[in-house]
Amino acid sequence: MATALQNLSSHDASTVPQGNGKRVGIVVSEWNAAITGSLLRGACETLEKYGIAKDDIVIKYVPGSFELVFGAKTLIERANVDSVIILGCVIQGETPHFTFVCNGVTQGTTDLNIKYDIPVIFGLLTTDTLEQAKARAGGIHGNKGDEAAITALKMMALNNLLMC
């Protein structure tokens, strides 16, 4: 398990670019709200720590994880953002629904990254159990929201570098 090898919240601060002047959209699934709320807190705290103003973090909620892609597309097209982070949590159940949702969000995020010149960051937890989700939303494995925010900062910096 990759997460067991590295804490999701661990990072070398010297490698994280500052985000001053940037605007970040975050789309959050309301499904599994206790988990996604923790992911959101982690993402926002990390973005602010690295210079993103609170007013430059645009947060929008969608009903479930499958709707994250449309939410991200909407923010890209209408909110003048430099990056979008999707945050959701899908927990394996008794039906193949888990697989369809996870595959759809993964492919949709990939498609957005190809179509637009704005990085869309994949912050979807795909776990077998609620305990695994809790461990990755501020628990023993850190917070995927922190990791998604760091990724957004690094990808915005890369995008700026390549656009010059």
2 has a pLDDT exceeding 70:
no
The predicted structure's pLDDT at residue 6: 74
Specify whether 97 is catalytic: yes
CB 61 within 8 A of CB 70: no
Reading the block at residue 151, the tokens are: 């990724």
| Region 127-148 average pLDDT | 95
Residue with tokens 């690295």: 50
Confidence class for position 156, pLDDT limits 50, 70, 90: very high
pLDDT digits (tens, 9 = 90+) for 38-60: 999 999 999 999 999 999 999 99
pLDDT-wise least confident of 12-26, 44-58, 111-125: 12-26
Catalytic residue among 20, 34, 79, 97: 97
Query: Domain locations in the chain?
Result: 21-163
CATH of domain 21-163: 3.40.50.960
The predicted structure's pLDDT at residue 13: 85
The SS3 assignment for 29 reads: strand
Convert 89-125 to b/e letters by CB count within 10 Å (16 or more is b): bbbeeeeeebeebbeebeebbeebbeeeebbbbbbbb
